[in-house]
Amino acid sequence: MTRRPRFRLIAALTVLVLGLLGVAEASASKIPLSSVGAVWHSATFSRPCAGPVLVTPMGNPNGAGKYSQAAVTGLSGSCSTGYLELRDNYGTTLISGTGTISGGVFSVSTSSGQYTPPSTANARIFVSGNTWPIKATWMPSIYGGCVVVVAATGATTTKPCSITSLTAVSNGDGAGRGYRTDHMYLVLSAPTMVTDGTEKAYLVLNLGAASGLPNNWQWGNAGVTTGNLTPYPGDRCSALPMLQAYAPGWAANGAQVYFDALENRTGASGLVCS
């Protein structure tokens, strides 16, 4: 074979090889990623629980108005573990920790002494359920808080609502510790709440802060009678002293709302919590 034909053969082979490589590269570029080394999945995630929630001081305050607990109420869904961190406006952590969620409520205790509830403006809070962040509002009132809602649907309104007082008075039956009953009187201020039954107040109450309630009140088997209250779905007596319930619209302008607190709910009927 002469040099010229040999050169032509080599050139032809080179073109053929380059062409094959180009085809291979083009073909490889069209192979879907899911078939090369890894399988890609499309997934959607939904929150196991939701808010918004209310965060309030919890339990019996000491003589200086300091608390060792805080409660989170209003969770919906299936979360089992909640986390709360409350800080003041300087960034100092006042209370933090996890708690078991039951009936949409969980509480945490401070291990570093007691804290003074900051004002709403000076509070910084973070709440999560099963590590999912939850929208939360801090209510520093020692008695808890309230929200005006539509009676038929439970939809929240922007109308103002606050708890003016919560008072406990012994029924005078002389029962011993663990079996006592106290009458509770709640006063609200919700000046624009409609009183014809179309609106009501959603309550988050810290019964442990009630004026006149004995400091050694036992909550382990406690209950609360309906009285003038109506039940909040899913609220559990085991969450006491934190209580979720509804107050009637006629209580808008200071009319007393009445109910009883029982240290022993065994055998009791007509309870507002389950």
Digit-coded pLDDT (tens) for 117-142 = 898 889 999 999 999 999 998 888 77
Its sign, for the CA torsion 98, 100, 103, 106, is negative
Return the percentage of the chain with pLDDT > 70, whole number: 82
Higher model confidence: residue 64 or residue 120? 120
Instruction: State how far the Cα of 1 lies from the Cα of 71, in Å rounded to an integer.
Output: 96
Question: Same domain for 76 and 183?
Answer: no
Same domain for 226 and 180: yes
Amino acid 37: pLDDT? 39
- Average pLDDT over every residue of 48-68: 80
Mean pLDDT, rounded, of the chain = 84
Q: How many CB atoms are located within 10 Å of the residue 14 CB?
A: 10
Point out the least confidently predicted range of 91-100, 108-117, 126-135, 197-206. 108-117
Note whether residue 245 is domain-resident: yes
Whether residue 23 lies inside any domain: the answer is no
Q: What angle do CA 168, 274, 180 make, to 5 degrees?
A: 35
Pick 70 or 1 by higher pLDDT: 70
CB-based contact 218:266 (threshold 8 Å):
no
CA–CA distances in Å: residue 193 to residues 70, 107, 160, 229, 249: 28, 30, 8, 16, 6
Continuous segment of H or E residues that includes residue 205? strand 199-206
Amino acid (one-letter) located at 96: S
pLDDT at 182: 97
Which one has a higher pLDDT value, 90 or 5? 90
| Bridge-based pairing state of the strands 230-231 and 242-248 | antiparallel
Do 176 and 191 lie in one domain? The reply is: yes
Query: Domain total for the chain?
Result: 2
Asked whether the bond before 241 is cis by omega within 30 degrees of 0, the reply is yes
Whether 235 has a pLDDT exceeding 60, the answer reads yes
Its domain, for residue 63, covers 48-140
Residue 172: the pLDDT is 87
CA distance 274 to 270: 10
The reply to whether 194 and 128 lie within a common domain is no
Domain final residue pick, 107, 140, 173: 140
Overall pTM surpassing 0.85 (yes/no): no
